[in-house]
Structure 1
């Protein structure tokens, strides 16, 4: 037997004695197999010997009949069994939710984290292997760089020694002439012929004006900056935490963090550092490959790589189809990429071998840009010349299409016109739309930020804004070539005009910046690239 009231086991002989032990309780004796079938009501919180017959919903406690008319008078009261049934139903629902939804979700999250840890182990192993394999390449790069610097130093030394030798030759000639003059004066003084004394001119004043001092100085050698420009580096990844990063059966992606960099001050007057003659009859585009090298393309089917310091041609690559490239860019890994308008392709040049990455159907590629994430952005127009759009590619896979604004209107003009594209440091996508005479900037999601239609009065020609090449710098400033006004516009990331860069430009077309924010301008008419410094 079993007492459901006292929760004790009993044999039949002890049942009578159990009733007499505590006469204050209402003992319920049941068969042992039916134990715990009787619900035990809780005691009143104010009177521990009284059973809580009702439940106060406001105080959230069981109460006896005596408390109902005193401490809990006027409160919302429910029968204790009704409250029990409701709470039991809620507990059943909670158990189902925990068992069928929440617990499996946590299991999935744990599995996901373990999988990502395993993947991370694998990827870091591959990264370490890649770095090890690149060790020899880095050593070779350093050796090559050292040889280039030694050649450059030898040329500087030769030039400066020639300058000093020329200066020394002039001084030695003066010394020789002065000696002759001294000897001649001595001869005249020892002569008894007055005519010689009277006709002797004075040349001392000529030699009193001493020659200017020629100063030469050694170039500054900065090995840290040199290595930073020519070797690879690892970019630290910030730790991210999101209190609501996990959801039931899904993981919500957080937006990309925006880049930041130290504020730089501009020169009052930008100046040209060097000018490179590319040999093109008509020059179109320029793309920076580290500080010392630039890729260029012009009206023919060749893309040329130049050394900026020596102004020398390093190599020349022909397009795969024999067509003129529409635009060129340099990828994050340092490879050349170009668009072929006639072949409808985007091509990658790696180790001097050309590979077709993207082939379009019913669309024609114009401008191309490589993003900080390694994706390619391509601005393209339709065959019927009625549509234009920007497409983001990861390799040859299309990831994103940007074509219309929030009202369904086209973001970009249509027709057969040049269009150029660049990604800003804040991940905005900037398009130079030549037909619309505007720069169109959208955010990473493709939402329109602003349109820039030029600034008046423009220098020199005062013609309408005619944008061509476009690039950005470390300050998230946007630079675009104004072809007809022979200048470059600089605007901020919100579309506000900052200044013009003039520097004697002639029909500027392509633009790019290097890692130190030096600006390279491809001049369409004379085939020259100007390297311009506009930051201090």
Structure 2
């Protein structure tokens, strides 16, 4: 890993060496870059016939759900030693997917309610999660098993040009009851332009990738449980410029409560703490793979 690709500003005090358990940050002075903090290596690889793997969800039995965003396909598979075995497949456009109690919750961009797919029988039914009149996009389940759904009205698969969407991020309990909605600020202005991806941390903060235009220039919006914007992250001057804008395409909270944000246009992973404050970043030059989205085994902190 190149020593010139990881940046931060406080002094680093080493902690336990895991992928994203960096230790603690003290002081305000610039520190020497620690290129050996974490090493990203390809440990296994498989070949699939899918053209564009967009989501990966791991089940408790070790099987995976894969989505193909180009061909609108959803596959339930198992990874064998040198092969991918397909257990079932569906011809669905998938704009959000999460595992829930052995089943799969998906948004298809076609209806206001989420679909529930039985992980064993593969039967598809309507779920209790409905956000009408909005159409759901991304889905996230918190550590407290609350369901967070991003939605737009009218529906759009990407930030539109020339028209304004009504946008919402809503939080529901397991029965489908609405707990809180994030839509407008205290001045009655929209919180989001296009809420593309959502995640959360253990302190209750919600992280929303807000895309601002059709080129996916965007920002990371950090909202507390009361619906107050705690911060906006718009990239780093070391890597983001007018010619290389911040283009967040995914956000993920690790088990150690760090936030990873993929900056897909320049192939950089930004690392934030659970308050949305910058810690560091990784450039693609430090990796053995092309990073477009964050596809991980959430319990093991492994990329896939």
- TM-score category by the smaller chain? 0.7 to 0.9
Please list the CA deviations of residues 443-487 of structure 1 after superposition, one character each: whole Å capped at 9, or x if unmatched. 22322221111123339xx72111112210122111122211123
Preserved CA contact (<8 Å) 1:469 1:481: yes
Q: Distance in 2 between matches of 1:444 and 1:317?
A: 37
Q: Distance in 2 between matches of 1:425 and 1:309?
A: 34
1:378 aligns with 2:149: yes
Which of the pair has more CA radius of gyration?
Answer: 1
Kindly report structure 1 stretches of 4+ aligned residues shifted beyond 6 Å: none
Q: Distance in 2 between matches of 1:278 and 1:385?
A: 38
Preserved CA contact (<8 Å) 1:291 1:514: no
1:200-279 matches, cutoff 5 A: 264=18, 265-266=21-22, 267-279=37-49
Please list the CA deviations of residues 2-42 of structure 1 after superposition, one character each: whole Å capped at 9, or x if unmatched. xxxxxxxxxxxxxxxxxxxxxxxxxxxxxxxxxxxxxxxxx
Matched residue, 1:437: 218
Q: Scaled by the length of structure 1, what TM-score is found?
A: 0.43
Q: Which structure has more RCO (C-alpha within 8 Å, separation ≥ 6)?
A: 2
Q: 1:408 to 1:362 in 2, by over 3 A?
A: same
Superposed displacement of residue 422, structure 1: 1.4
1:178-189 matches, cutoff 5 A: none
Preserved CA contact (<8 Å) 1:289 1:514: no
1:457-476 matches, cutoff 5 A: 457-458=238-239, 463-476=244-257
Matched residue, 2:301: 517
Q: Which among 335, 341, 353 is matched to residue 123 of structure 2?
A: 353
Q: Distance in 2 between matches of 1:375 and 1:494?
A: 19
Superposed displacement of residue 382, structure 1: 1.5
Q: Distance in 2 between matches of 1:510 and 1:315?
A: 24
Q: Distance in 2 between matches of 1:278 and 1:434?
A: 30
1:324 aligns with 2:96: no
Q: Distance in 1 between matches of 2:200 and 2:102?
A: 16
1:392 aligns with 2:171: yes
Superposed displacement of residue 339, structure 1: 0.6
Q: 1:457 to 1:306 in 2, by over 3 A?
A: farther
Q: What is the alpha-carbon root mean square deviation over aligned residues?
A: 2.8
The alignment of Structure 1 onto Structure 2 pairs a total of residues equal to: 251
Q: Which has the higher strand share?
A: 2
Preserved CA contact (<8 Å) 2:77 2:88: no
Matched residue, 2:261: 480
Q: Distance in 2 between matches of 1:290 and 1:379?
A: 25
Q: Distance in 2 between matches of 1:324 and 1:346?
A: 12
Preserved CA contact (<8 Å) 1:365 1:378: yes
1:15-34 matches, cutoff 5 A: none
Q: 1:278 to 1:470 in 2, by over 3 A?
A: farther
Q: Distance in 1 between matches of 2:296 and 2:164?
A: 28
Q: Distance in 2 between matches of 1:336 and 1:473?
A: 20
1:12-411 matches, cutoff 5 A: 264=18, 265-266=21-22, 267-290=37-60, 292-299=62-69, 300-308=71-79, 310=81, 311-318=83-90, 322-331=91-100, 333-350=101-118, 351=120, 352-357=122-127, 358-383=129-154, 385-394=164-173, 395-411=175-191
Q: Distance in 2 between matches of 1:504 and 1:376?
A: 34
Q: Distance in 2 between matches of 1:458 and 1:433?
A: 19
Q: Distance in 1 between matches of 2:63 and 2:270?
A: 24
Structure 2, unpaired ranges of 5+: 1-15, 23-36, 155-162
Q: Scaled by the length of structure 2, what TM-score is found?
A: 0.72
